[in-house]
Amino acid sequence: MNGISAFIIAGGQSRRFGGDKTLFSYRGRPLIERVIESVEPAIQTISIVADDVEKFKYLGLPCYRDAVTGQGPIGGIYTALINSETERAFMIAADMPDLNPDLIRYMASLSEEYDVTIPSVAGCFEPLHAIYSGICRVPIKKNLEKGNRQIISFFSEVSVREVTEKEIREYIDPQRVFRNINYRSDIHDGQNTNTGE
């Protein structure tokens, strides 16, 4: 897709998991490789944002260190936007292995007229399965300078397109696509799921 690239935000501490979950085996492959594999059919230009970029070099993808450390996901989004060579960027968490390429394509088709295109389920946004335009750089930087790490805090300053639960269900169950691997038990649950693999 022209005008859009993907960034995997992989800078989390994985405290609840008890170790580096991005390289932990999930269905026989490192978790981050599963995420890449899910995104590639929709967006071929993929990069990684992380504190420790060395461990991802084997993937052969561009890797960027957080431009502002210790700021959590919003710092990762900001880093992605200042390094993006496309006008829009799809941000995805490194621990969401059940992405749906058709849903990503649908969101991309909506995103040209908005600064943020983001799923909303049960009144909650999914900011690490969302598309951001370069316009977002300035308000995000302002919030970081104020010490505000809440991603949605700048939404009032930009145009936002919510992707509803009804729209999402046209492609996949929201409970599945937005499922994060937070604990080691989540790894086993995913591997015990009948996915057709």
- pLDDT confidence band for 146 (50 / 70 / 90): very high
Element (H, E) at 49: strand 46-49
DSSP 8-state class, residue 179: -
Closest CA to 2 of 112, 165, 119: 112
pLDDT band at 182 (very low <50, low <70, confident <90, very high): low
Identify the CATH number of the domain defined by range 4-180: 3.90.550.10
pTM score, two decimals?
0.89
Q: Quick one: pLDDT band at residue 11, thresholds 50, 70, 90?
A: confident
- Token pair for 152: 């949605």
115-132 average pLDDT score: 97
Domain spans in the chain, listed from the N-terminal domain onward: 4-180
Does residue 186 register a pLDDT over 60? Answer: no
